[in-house]
């Protein structure tokens, strides 16, 4: 257990425990937001933009997520967002279940122990399988509450990258499902921690917030 989040981040930045760190990326990415949040969003793994900035969900998927969160009363600067896998898989492929289990077992578990949220939102299949079990399926289990090994309630919804691949009626349907899933998370968070503000007056500009980190990571060869 780490004494503070900065200590955890320092150790994470040095992590070279699996092959993902050698797949042509700039090394482990961290989290964004605040550790005081009662609500944690867990994504799958970093893409190209996230690898540049060192934080999760700030590229096209993250920008779509921000719009969805804004619609239910959340801004990312007031919650905690992280990923199952910390290093970008080569070619932006989806992390495997085994990679997720290894990385999250080292780092996500530590993050959850430190943040101690009341509600977790799992984005996509990799996050759902780690938090719920290998037999979980996003198509059948999204929108349903389940208990995690942390003793924290969680709900899964589609990863925004999936929405970016949809069109027409399928996209409209999936967007509404994501809306209702996120709304349920907001309501449960409000019940468990009344009075905590999940939404700022304006959406957070995460690319601007983490621009200095991008500058630092640009010096790291990939």
| Domain ranges (residues) in the chain | 18-195
Each residue's pLDDT tens digit, 36-67: 999 999 999 999 999 999 999 999 999 999 99
C-alpha–C-alpha distance, residues 190 and 181, integer Å: 14
C-alpha–C-alpha distance, residues 32 and 111, integer Å: 12
Q: Does position 221 have pLDDT exceeding 80, yes or no?
A: no
CA–CA distance from 174 to each of 18, 70, 159 (Å)? 34, 17, 10
In CATH, the architecture of 18-195 is: 3-Layer(aba) Sandwich (3.40)
Q: Does position 23 have pLDDT exceeding 90, yes or no?
A: no
pTM value is 0.96
Using a pLDDT cut of 70, give the percent of the chain over it. Answer: 99
**CB burial class (10 A; 0-12, 13-18, 19+) of residue 212?**
exposed
pLDDT of residue 3: 85
């Amino acid at each position: 257990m780490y004494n503070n989040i900065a200590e955890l981040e320092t150790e994470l930045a040095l992590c070279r425990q699996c092959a993902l760190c050698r797949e042509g990326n700039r090394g482990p990415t961290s989290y964004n937001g605040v550790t005081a949040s009662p609500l944690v969003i867990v994504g799958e793994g970093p893409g190209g933009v996230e690898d540049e900035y060192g934080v999760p969900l700030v590229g096209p998927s993250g920008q779509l997520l921000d719009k969805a969160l804004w619609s239910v009363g959340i801004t990312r600067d007031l919650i905690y967002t992280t990923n199952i896998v910390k290093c970008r898989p080569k070619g932006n492929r989806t992390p495997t279940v085994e990679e997720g289990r290894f990385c999250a077992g080292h780092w996500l578990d530590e993050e959850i122990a430190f943040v101690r949220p009341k509600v977790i939102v799992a984005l996509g299949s990799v996050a759902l399988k780690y938090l719920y079990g290998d037999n979980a399926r996003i198509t059948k289990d999204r929108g349903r509450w389940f208990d995690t090994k942390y003793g924290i309630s969680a709900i899964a919804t589609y990863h925004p990258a999936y929405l970016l691949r949809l069109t027409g009626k399928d996209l409209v349907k999936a967007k509404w499902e994501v809306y209702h899933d996120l709304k349920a998370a907001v309501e449960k968070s409000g019940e468990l921690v009344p009075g905590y503000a999940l939404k700022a007056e304006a959406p957070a500009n995460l690319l601007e917030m983490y621009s200095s980190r991008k500058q630092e990571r640009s010096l790291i060869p990939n």
